[in-house]
Copies of this chain bind each other. A is one copy, B any other.
């Protein structure tokens, strides 16, 4: 089914991104996250949903965390960091929000496909997560050609968004190890009100 091909295309992107991850950069990311008083998460559209999925796990880990745009999010300051997720690194709302955070002294960590984007340029740390445009696997292209399908199986920002989610779930595993937290610790912070 096309469905399986689409999943293959996503998995290929995840594997390619995973292989390129730089350990030093990741360790610096963890250092910023754990040394911040509060981590503010920022994203629009489906990247915003990915930001929330990560925020939920950071909360389960017992960290101070807020999602920009939710009800109880307070002002940000120099003890905090902002983790901004934007494939293009050019979403205007993300840029204007990151600018304010930076002006108030917060550290900016960006997750983007473009290191040299406006968002990348203002960041203290950039996590590169390639989407379709950058790593368009030969294999899938040829597969599509053979099947006579030349259009994408993962439209718009899909590859970036999904790969970012899985990368951030990997960051959670790394954080659990670093902070000495077990799954049971997470369970105890998990909401019971549902």
A positions within 8 Å CB-CB of B:
1-8, 10-11, 14-15, 18, 21, 23, 26, 40, 42, 44-46, 49-50, 52-53, 55-57, 59-60, 65-76, 91-93, 96-97, 100-101, 104, 149, 151-156, 158, 161-162, 165-167, 169-174, 176-177, 182-183, 186-194
Contacts and interface: CB of A to CB of B under 8 A. Distances in A.
Contacts of A7: 14, 18, 166-167, 169-170
B166 A10 contact: yes
A6 B173 contact: yes
A183 B116 CA distance: 26
A7 B93 CA distance: 30
A177 B152 CA distance: 11
Nearest to A75: B192
Contacts of A193: 40, 42, 68-69, 73, 75-76, 97, 100-101
A15 B11 contact: yes
How many copies of the polypeptide does the oligomer hold?
Answer: 4
A166 B82 CA distance: 27
B194 A91 contact: yes
A42 B149 CA distance: 32
B56 A3 contact: no
Contacts of A2: 170, 173-174, 177
A61 B161 CA distance: 18
Contacts of A162: 165-166, 169
A14 to B, nearest CB: 6
A76 B192 contact: yes
